[in-house]
Amino acid sequence: MRALLALTSLLAALVLAGCTEDARDALRPSRTGCYFTTGIGETHLSSEQASNAATIAAVGLRDGMDERAVAVAITTAFQESGLENVDYGHDDSLGLFQQRPSMGWGSEAELMDPVYASFKFYEKLRRTDGWEDMTLAQAAQAVQVSAYPELYEQWEERATVIAAVFAGGNGSGIGCVKGNAPEVAADPAVLAEAFAYHWGAEVSEVDETTVVIDPDDAAEGWNRAAWAVARSYDFSIASVAYGGMVWAAGEDGWVEPDAEDHGEAAVAIANDSHAAVIITFAAA
């Protein structure tokens, strides 16, 4: 106890005395998860939440839904599950959207699949007359029919930022600090399969260390790049390159690589990424 008190007193003294920037950095909590930044605001998600939000966005875009629909879906998942794929809930509710097998949404196994659960959410949203003219919370309520409709409102602003990054082709708007899921599938072939399942399209190239995705335009390229960065949690991805920029797991976010700091190979990859999203995995 005395040792703890002494350490506490020392830390307090350093703060009061005006400690150096290095000391402040040592005392500052480590950054975790993923950070979203757009012209309309910024927000933070855990790595797991970001991975689920990326799936929700990909399924919506795959099925012809727009950025606003993605924002409605993310608003809903925030309130229903905290953007976590939980296997419990009120009565028989479960999954990202707390959908109920007994109400015809699907089987338990299907609803625990974020891709299927997202598909079912958008399916009902699409059938909701006038949802485009509703607020995000109103549209969420129209799908979910919750006993507490007002609770969706608190997530609208954050969901709008996240949807702008994942669905709006919003440049390098996401950066994630390195972190692994409990079970990591560090295999480019498995990531390629996930891409096909989420987006309904094939990658253009996959080998032992790299996945290459060819987008139709810049907006699509940044959407796929954002999806890949969010997948770094699941797949232990080392870097993603697109549009002359490179993201690597850590606190630096997206940067323009230079030969001195990143090597000539990284510069070549970034320059080539104007035409393709290039995802690299750490060597085993």
Higher pLDDT, 187 or 31: 187
CB 195 within 8 A of CB 201: yes
Give the mean pLDDT of the chain.
85
Half-sphere exposure of 75 (CA within 13 A, CB side): 30
Which of 26-30, 159-163, 276-280 shows the lowest mean pLDDT across its residues? 26-30
Half-sphere exposure of 114 (CA within 13 A, CB side): 26
Give yes or no for residue 7 having a pLDDT over 50.
Answer: no
Q: Beta-carbon neighbour count of residue 53 at 10 Å?
A: 30
Which of 100-114, 216-230, 262-276 shows the lowest mean pLDDT across its residues? 262-276
Higher pLDDT, 26 or 280: 280
Q: Quote the CA–CA distance of 247 and 132 in Å, as a whole number.
A: 34
Q: Quote the CA–CA distance of 87 and 111 in Å, as a whole number.
A: 9
3-state class (DSSP) for residue 200: coil
Q: What pLDDT, in 10s, does the model give residues 78-88?
A: 999 999 999 99
Closest CA to 122 of 101, 104, 105: 105
What is the Cα Rg of the chain in Å? 21
Predicted pLDDT at 271: 62
Q: What pLDDT, in 10s, does the model give residues 220-250?
A: 999 999 999 999 988 889 899 998 899 987 7
Q: What pLDDT, in 10s, does the model give residues 130-178?
A: 999 999 999 999 999 999 999 999 999 999 999 999 998 877 899 998 6
Q: Quote the CA–CA distance of 244 and 236 in Å, as a whole number.
A: 22
